[in-house]
């Protein structure tokens, strides 16, 4: 009888046994800033709350710091593994949300406040390009989220309930409007693949959508689609070369997983759970050597 019950409990996961379960190392950003290895052990930590960031090819960390006494407008720092600061940009408005190192060595930064904008700054922190953002949201916290550069030189920017593609002058050349919802569909992360499809997290709506170039939804994930795994205030996304999607459940607390990897068919293949009080705001998957995972779009 016990064996029968166990088989029934394991039945939904039978298909997962055919493929090895991945073990993921990652950079965690949010209330705690850490690198965890594939066994879930902390191998590096930074003593500040962060909003975005990444491990750079040189092994240093590019981090967006939440506003604090030291940085009332937020900040972007590049730090070594020994926590030495080698680059600093101090936010001048309400908060900073984005930092991405561009191919030519500049850093893409998004700033929210009275003059919401994207910036490209050089290695000395001097502004080399400024792109104004058109925002309907008066609350700076919703003016922009995880802005990302595109290969064509444009920018993909989640803003309030929109995702906009902007050219170098700030002109809107593509736009996706989140559908009306009782749950207030605010956009957080947007990733564009080589086929021109865009993967978008709708945070409070507990949903992820993939849209084509016309804005048509071609795939979606919503709360209730994953048996036993809630979609709970999804924020950050990573799109893997095999089509898998990894997302963060920002509001999740144990026993709910804070990170979840699923296949295109919505099979859960990896989760991360801890007992801590902080959610995962953003993350970056890493390989066994602690380098950015090859081919991962984030």
pLDDT digits (tens, 9 = 90+) for 55-91: 999 999 999 999 999 999 999 999 999 999 999 999 9
pLDDT band, very low/low/confident/very high, at 7 (cuts 50, 70, 90)? very low
Helical H runs in 160-259? none
pLDDT digits (tens, 9 = 90+) for 211-257: 999 999 999 999 999 999 999 999 999 999 999 999 999 999 999 99
- Residue 65's SS3 state is strand
Tokens at residue 31, please?
């209330």
What domains does the chain contain, in order, with CATH numbers?
25-210 (2.120.10.30)
- CA 213, CA 210: separation in Å to the nearest integer? 10
The reported pTM is 0.91
Tokens at residue 227, please?
């048996």
Angle (CA) 43 49 51, round 5°: 100
Phi-psi region of 5 (alpha: psi -120 to 50; beta: other; left: phi over 0): alpha
Closest CA to 188 of 251, 236, 118, 247: 236
| Contact in structure between 278 and 31 (CB atoms under 8 Å) | yes
């Amino acid at each position: 009888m016990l064996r029968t019950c166990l088989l029934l409990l394991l039945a939904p996961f039978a298909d997962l046994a055919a493929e090895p379960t991945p073990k993921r190392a990652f950079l965690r950003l949010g209330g705690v800033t850490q690198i965890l290895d594939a066994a879930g052990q902390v191998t590096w930590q930074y003593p500040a709350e962060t909003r975005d960031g990444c491990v750079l090819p040189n092994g240093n960390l590019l981090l967006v710091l939440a506003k604090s006494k030291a940085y009332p407008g937020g900040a972007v720092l590049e730090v070594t593994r020994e926590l030495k600061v080698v680059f600093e940009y101090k936010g001048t408005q309400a908060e900073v949300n984005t930092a991405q190192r561009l191919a030519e060595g500049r850093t893409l930064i998004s700033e929210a406040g009275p003059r919401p904008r994207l910036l490209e700054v050089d290695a000395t922190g001097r502004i080399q390009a400024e792109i104004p953002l058109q925002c309907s949201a008066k609350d700076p916290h919703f003016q922009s989220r995880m802005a990302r550069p595109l290969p064509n030189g444009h920018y993909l920017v989640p803003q309030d309930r929109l995702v906009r593609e902007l050219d170098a002058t700030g002109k809107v050349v593509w736009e996706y409007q989140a559908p009306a919802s009782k749950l207030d569909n605010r956009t957080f992360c947007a990733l564009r693949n080589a086929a021109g499809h865009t993967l978008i997290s709708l945070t409070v709506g507990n949903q992820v959508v993939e849209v084509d170039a016309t804005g048509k939804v071609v795939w979606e994930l919503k709360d209730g689609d994953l048996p036993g795994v809630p979609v709970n205030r999804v924020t950050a996304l990573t799109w893997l070369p095999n089509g898998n999607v990894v997302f963060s459940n920002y509001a999740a607390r144990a026993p709910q997983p804070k990170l979840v990897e699923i296949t295109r068919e919505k099979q859960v293949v990896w989760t991360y759970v801890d007992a801590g009080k902080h959610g995962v705001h953003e993350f970056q998957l890493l390989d066994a050597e602690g380098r950015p995972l090859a081919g991962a779009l984030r």
